[in-house]
Amino acid sequence: MSDIRLDAIWKKFGATEVIRGIDLTIDPGEFVVLVGPSGCGKSTLLNLISGLETLSSGNIFIGGRKVNDVPPRDRDIAMVFQSYALYPTKSVRDNITFGMSVRHIPRQVQDAAVAEFAGLLHIEDYLERKPAQLSGGQRQRVAMGRALVRKPDVFLFDEPLSNLDAKLRIEMRTEIKKLHQRLGKTVVYVTHDQIEAMTLATRIAVMDAGHIRQFADPFTVYDDPVDLFVAGFMGSPPMNMIEGKLRQDGGSFVECGAPGAELRFPLPEAMARRVAGHDGLAVILGLRPETIFAAGSELPGPDRYCFELPVAVVEPTGPDTMIVFEIGGRDLIARVRPQDARPQGTRFRFEVEMRKAKLFDAASGLRL
Amino acid sequence: MNRRQIDGIVRRGGPWQAVQRGVLFAVLALFCAYYLVPLVVMISTSFKSLDEIRLGTLTSLPQAVTFEAWAKAWGSACVGVRCDGLQPYVWNSVMMVVPAVALSTFLGALNGYALTKWRFRGADVIFALILFGAFIPFQVILLPMARTLGVLGLAGTIPGLIMVHTIYGLAFTTLFFRNFFIGVSDGIVRAAQVDGASFFGIFFRIILPMSLPAIVVTLIWQFTQIWNDFLFGVAFTVGESNPVTVALNNVVNTSTGVKEYNVDMAAAIIAALPTLAVYVLAGSYFVRGLSAGAVKG
């Protein structure tokens, strides 16, 4: 098992800076997910780790060895690509053993390795077929087999599940997690799907515009986002962002909505203490959909706030129903139990659990 | 779209449509005849005796089929002062075409691979310069190339002609392979790099086996171009080393004796047969390969 250390790395393509000074330390055996919107540099970062791109500046260490000038094949890594990138003229078996045959590993060793991983990945029935004769899920398994079979220290995954249909994606997600638990190798995994990131990672690096905004375990990233970007990116449906002003008159409130019809969200004590002395500050109140529910549908607790607004749209998802409503012209989403939903147009009494609210500075976007 | 997909499309019916289709087929038949009649005349003339040619008309079919003209064209027609027929020159052409086609195709594949899968600074400029070779009128380079061959000691030899054809074939072969490889996923090359294969390892073990359609198209194209070439052949070879196209010209344009039309026709067909054969054998690949951008990896 190897650790990976990125030390102040930059990548420029001509005048465009794709990676802008990233430091990252990945512990041995960790499953790190790089997540972010398209164009944030996450795939480039993965290619830099693999050696498929050259650094503009900085250092990369894999297992304590500086690999800036080491070509991909000597980095002891394996990679799974979004397009699978199987060799179309080779059979499944030859696809899997290509890396070993290039390295002149004896035939018996190759066959033993194929036998070991074909069973693990359930591909033993079509080892002699060509990639074109396989379904998407089967190709995905072969691509994983090709990576696993060389038993490298580090696995790199570049959006491996995005070409699969929704059901297969969930299935393969679980299998990848199982494989990681079983093999315990260091994994760096790129995806734009925040649910994949949450479910797979031991730690998530949320990237934006060539920077890492936050690097923490999934629970922290979800529950304790450092800024508006991370808060808005993680979670589906996304966190509700309500613009407002901080008011400190007989308690701390966030005042939102059109003049005359303002809502005053009371801040819990701990949060109020943090923002003391900032009366009138422009803030953004972040409320995850699951923290807004039908009034009285949960056991009463401290720091609750109730308000009444008309229902704009009702979206049933099965286990929950999303109710869309408006504050100050912005659509917000509440996640209620299906039996609490009311038809569009009726007034609905919402209850907010303010202890789970996040408060951001509107100017800097940072968490308050 | 293949035939079945087009057949399924609903079409308007009725008498006017029938008339239109009739006109369409009549025009197509006319063009077809226009194209094929000269070939028919050539073939039928080559099977006639000289007497029959003198007495009959151009389009009449041979009354007594004879292979004499073919035998003479192949084995005993006079090319200049030598009367061995086209046979030695056909072999000259074969000796020249095979290495020239193989070399230019191989180098074109290598160029196309390097230009698309190992992008380097200036790759586009280099490709533009190579492509420029496709637009050079070959008359322009005759003198400098003759001088170059002289300096290299290859003037008037078949190896010299092979070199010229290889160099001037590169523009087209590079273009063919580059356009094919652009449609091949870069991920395959990256995967092979991570797997540990080298530049040539990836080329020979992954890329070349994938490019069969492009290889076939290029082989046909180069074979046709080089076999049919007259200009380089007449400029850079002498007498004994002439390719068959030049020899054909010498057979037909001989100024002594009676004009033997049947021998001329047979000789022309002999000179054209190899390219015809290549089309017939590999034609379906040619059509498929021309739309090679659609071939997925």
pLDDT in tens, B4-15: 556 678 878 888
Q: State yes or no: pLDDT of B292 exceeds 70.
A: no
Q: Taking CB atoms and an 8 Å limit, are A87 and B196 in contact across chains?
A: no
B210 touches chain A (CB under 8 A): yes
Give, rounded to a whole angstrom, the gap between the first and last alpha carbons of chain A.
39
CA distance A267 to A284: 13
The answer, yes or no, to whether the previous bond of A28 is cis (omega within 30 of 0) is: no
Q: Taking CB atoms and an 8 Å limit, are A102 and B190 in contact across chains?
A: no
- Report yes or no: B86 and B244 within 8 Å, Cβ to Cβ: yes
* CB half-sphere exposure, B200, CA atoms < 13 A: 2
Strand pairing class (A31-35; A203-208):
parallel
Interface residue of A44, A97, A98 to substitute, partner B, most B CBs within 10 Å: A98
Given this model, what pLDDT does residue B175 score? 93
How many Cβ pairs closer than 8 A exist between chain A and B?
Answer: 62
- Report yes or no: A357 and A291 within 8 Å, Cβ to Cβ: yes
Kindly report the nearest CA distance between residue B186 and chain A, in angstroms: 8
CA distance B166 to B220: 14
More confident residue, A160 or B77: A160
pLDDT in tens, A17-62: 999 999 999 999 999 999 999 889 999 999 999 999 999 999 999 9
Strand pairing class (A330-336; A313-316):
unpaired
Given this model, what pLDDT does residue A136 score? 86
Interface residue of B184, B195, B198, B295 to substitute, partner A, most A CBs within 10 Å: B195
Cβ neighbour number for residue A114 with a 10 Å cutoff: 21
Consecutive H or E run containing B83: none
CA distance B130 to B111: 10
Sign of CA dihedral A134, A139, A143, A149: negative
B140 touches chain A (CB under 8 A): no
Given this model, what pLDDT does residue B294 score? 40
Q: Taking CB atoms and an 8 Å limit, are B195 and A99 in contact across chains?
A: yes
CA distance B13 to A48: 63
Cβ burial, residue B120 (10 Å; 0-12/13-18/19+) = exposed
Given this model, what pLDDT does residue B290 score? 54
The two tokens of residue A32 are 């790190």
* pLDDT band at residue A250 under the 50/70/90 scheme: confident
Contact residues, chain A, for B209 at CB < 8 Å: 89-90
Consecutive H or E run containing B122: none
Secondary structure (3-state) at B250 = helix
Kindly report the average pLDDT of chain A as a whole number.
91
Q: What percent of chain A has pLDDT over 70?
A: 100
- Report yes or no: A163 and A82 within 8 Å, Cβ to Cβ: yes
Q: Taking CB atoms and an 8 Å limit, are B193 and A73 in contact across chains?
A: yes
**Which H, E and C letters describe chain A, residue by residue?**
CCCEEEEEEEEEECCEEEEEEEEEEECCCCEEEEECCCCCCHHHHHHHHHCCCCCCEEEEEECCEECCCCCHHHCCEEEECCCCCCCCCCCHHHHHHHHHHHCCCCHHHHHHHHHHHHHHHCCHHHCCCCHHHCCHHHHHHHHHHHHHCCCCCEEEEECCCCCCCHHHHHHHHHHHHHHHHHHCCEEEEEECCHHHHHHHCCEEEEEECCEEEEEECHHHHHHCCCEHHHHHHCCCCCCEEEEEEEEECCCEEEEECCCCCCEEEECCHHHHHHCCCCCCCEEEEEECHHHEEECCCCCCCCCEEEEEEECCEEEECCCCEEEEEEECCEEEEEEECHHHCCCCCCEEEEEEEHHHCEEEECCCCEEC
CA distance B125 to B109: 18
CA distance A337 to A292: 11
Given this model, what pLDDT does residue B4 score? 54
Which of A22, A19, A20, A17 is CA-nearest to residue A5? A22
Nearest 5°: phi and psi at A293? -145, 175
A144 touches chain B (CB under 8 A): no
Interface residue of B117, B184, B189, B194 to substitute, partner A, most A CBs within 10 Å: B194
Given this model, what pLDDT does residue B255 score? 65
Given this model, what pLDDT does residue A346 score? 92
Q: Which residue is associated with the tokens 């990369």?
A: A60
Kindly report the nearest CA distance between residue B205 and chain A, in angstroms: 9
Kindly report the nearest CA distance between residue A56 and chain B, in angstroms: 15
Give, rounded to a whole angstrom, the gap between the first and last alpha carbons of chain B.
20
- Report yes or no: A49 and A60 within 8 Å, Cβ to Cβ: yes
Kindly report the average pLDDT of chain B as a whole number.
87
Nearest 5°: phi and psi at A142? -65, -45
Q: State yes or no: pLDDT of A342 exceeds 80.
A: yes
Consecutive H or E run containing B76: none
Cα angle A357, A361, A367 (rounded to 5 degrees) comes to 55
Looking at CATH, the fold of the domain delimited by B88-241+272-294 is given as MetI-like fold (1.10.3720)
Given this model, what pLDDT does residue A226 score? 94
Q: Which residue is associated with the tokens 């002289």?
A: B150
Given this model, what pLDDT does residue B120 score? 86
Q: State yes or no: pLDDT of B225 exceeds 60.
A: yes
**CATH code 3.40.50.300 region(s) in chain A:** 4-226
Looking at CATH, the fold of the domain delimited by A4-226 is given as Rossmann fold (3.40.50)
Out of B188, B194, B210, the one facing A73 most closely (by C-beta) is B194
Q: Which of A288-292, B93-97, B216-220 has the lowest mean pLDDT?
A: B216-220
Closest alpha carbon within chain B to A143: B191
- B242: which residues sit within 8 A by CB, 6+ positions away? B79, B89, B92, B233, B234, B250
A307 touches chain B (CB under 8 A): no
Q: State yes or no: pLDDT of B24 exceeds 60.
A: yes
Q: State yes or no: pLDDT of A165 exceeds 80.
A: yes
A14 touches chain B (CB under 8 A): no
- Report yes or no: A264 and A253 within 8 Å, Cβ to Cβ: yes
What is the distance of C-alpha B273 from the center of its chain? 11
Secondary structure (3-state) at B82 = strand
Q: Taking CB atoms and an 8 Å limit, are B191 and A146 in contact across chains?
A: yes
Q: In what order do the strands lie in the sheet with A313-316?
A: A313-316, A321-327, A330-336
Given this model, what pLDDT does residue B297 score? 36
Contact residues, chain B, for A97 at CB < 8 Å: none
Q: Which residue is associated with the tokens 């919402």?
A: A350
- A255: which residues sit within 8 A by CB, 6+ positions away? A244, A245, A246, A247, A262, A263, A264, A265
Q: Taking CB atoms and an 8 Å limit, are A88 and B297 in contact across chains?
A: yes
More confident residue, A34 or B136: A34
- B176: which residues sit within 8 A by CB, 6+ positions away? B108, B112, B214, B217, B218, B221
Q: Which residue is associated with the tokens 């020899």?
A: B247
Cα angle B142, B148, B153 (rounded to 5 degrees) comes to 120
Secondary structure (3-state) at B156 = strand
B124 touches chain A (CB under 8 A): no
- Report yes or no: A345 and A271 within 8 Å, Cβ to Cβ: no
Cα angle B255, B258, B264 (rounded to 5 degrees) comes to 80
Nearest 5°: phi and psi at B89? -75, -30
Class of domain A240-361: mainly beta
Closest alpha carbon within chain B to A151: B195
Partner A, chain B 218-247, Cβ-Cβ below 8 Å? none
Out of A71, A81, A99, the one facing B190 most closely (by C-beta) is A81
* CB half-sphere exposure, B42, CA atoms < 13 A: 15
* CB half-sphere exposure, B127, CA atoms < 13 A: 22
* pLDDT band at residue B293 under the 50/70/90 scheme: very low
The two tokens of residue A117 are 């991983």
A96 touches chain B (CB under 8 A): no
pLDDT in tens, A54-87: 999 999 999 999 999 999 989 989 999 988 899 9
**CATH code 2.40.50.140 region(s) in chain A:** 240-361
Closest alpha carbon within chain B to A85: B188
Out of A78, A89, A102, the one facing B210 most closely (by C-beta) is A89
Cβ neighbour number for residue B142 with a 10 Å cutoff: 16
CA distance A308 to A351: 9
Secondary structure (3-state) at B198 = coil
